[in-house]
Amino acid sequence: MDREGDEVALRQSVALSKQKLASMMVDLPEGASVPSDDLMNAMVELDDLENQLKSLHDDSSNSEESGAFVCTPPKPPPHLNSGAIPLPDAEEPTV
């Protein structure tokens, strides 16, 4: 499966997991202070799916689509209108 297909499948899984979690929260008894094991498992599952989706998105943005490298000078000269004065390079002390 390609990246786009994986992302679509993960998005669908996240949506289903959110719906499942929402329906479980609606069914909670009034005044419940401790969530059930099923509710905790659904929350962990949703968190895992969202993390997978985020890492898949981060991987795709760091892949071949990244921009080209740009060469820059190691020590650019000051702009002529900036008022800065270029300092001479430091010389190594003689011993």
Q: What is the pLDDT of residues 24-76, one digit of tens each?
A: 888 887 877 777 888 888 888 989 988 888 887 776 655 555 566 777 767 76
Per-residue b or e along 53-81, where b marks 16 or more CB atoms closer than 10 Å to that residue's CB: beeeeeeeeeeeeeeeeeeeeeeeeeeee
Contact status, residue 24 vs residue 39, Cβ threshold 8 Å:
yes
For the chain, give every domain's residue range: 3-53
What per-residue confidence (pLDDT) applies to 54? 86
DSSP 50-73: HHHHHHHHHHHHTSTTSPPP----
Greater pLDDT, 2 or 40: 40
CA distance 17 to 47: 10
